């Protein structure tokens, strides 16, 4: 066997998967399966055209937009990152500053359009079952709920459907509050 033949016989084939995209698709289907029958439509990657006609015009794409037939709106951004709900000794927390700014930007856009935004948030695979919610920006007078939530996953979690149900019920409770 020549050197070239030996090299070609050692080739490995496979597929590369964008797990963050799979997380978004998983959440889209989970929301659709649980909320569509309640009058919600779920859109993924809805295009927002910002600053049209300027040199800095761009499009943004929130991961998940839920619209109810009565006009209520929910905007969620899927994040496939570790979430421990912790701060380090420097004061940094698990929530990336850019992720926070991103969801706040989407919230501001829909609010300025006059949409009836009731909830926005970041959705993670949770390593600790400790979701949090407050009002948008933590302002007392805000009528918009802000959440950091997701599906609790753990190496020994055998029934992921139970964790999905817990997430859906928390979300349903916030939406209907």
Q: Is the pLDDT of residue 155 over 80?
A: no
Q: What's phi and psi for 29, nearest 5 deg?
A: -70, -40
Q: Residue 123: what pLDDT?
A: 97
d(CA 123, CA 20): 12
pLDDT in tens, 75-104: 999 999 888 788 877 777 888 899 999 999
Counting every residue written for the chain, the total comes to 177
pLDDT at 90: 79
Q: Using H for helix, E for strand and C for coil, what is the string for 90-142?
A: CCCECCCHHHHHHHHHHHHHHHHCCCEEEEEEEEEEECCCCCEEEEHHHCCCC
Query: How would DSSP label each residue in 54-98?
Result: STT-EEE--SEEEEETTSEEEEEEE--S-B---B-TTS-BSS-HH
Tokens 């800095």 correspond to 56
Q: Is the pLDDT of residue 4 over 80?
A: no
């Amino acid at each position: 066997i020549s050197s070239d033949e030996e090299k070609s016989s050692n080739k490995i084939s496979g597929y590369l998967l964008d797990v963050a995209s799979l997380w978004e698709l998983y959440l889209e289907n989970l929301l659709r399966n649980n909320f569509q029958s309640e009058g919600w439509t779920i859109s993924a990657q809805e295009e927002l055209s910002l600053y049209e006609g300027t040199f800095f015009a761009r499009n943004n794409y929130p991961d998940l937009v839920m619209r109810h037939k009565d006009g209520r709106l929910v905007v969620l951004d899927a994040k496939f990152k570790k979430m421990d709900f912790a701060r380090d000794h420097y004061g940094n927390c698990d929530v990336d500053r850019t992720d926070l700014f991103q969801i706040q930007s989407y919230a501001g856009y829909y609010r300025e359009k006059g949409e009836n935004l009731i909830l926005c948030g970041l959705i993670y695979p949770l390593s600790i079952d400790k979701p949090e919610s407050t009002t948008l920006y933590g302002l007392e007078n805000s009528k918009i709920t802000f959440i950091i939530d997701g599906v609790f996953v753990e190496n020994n979690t055998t029934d992921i459907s139970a964790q999905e149900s817990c997430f859906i019920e928390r979300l349903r409770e916030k939406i209907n509050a």
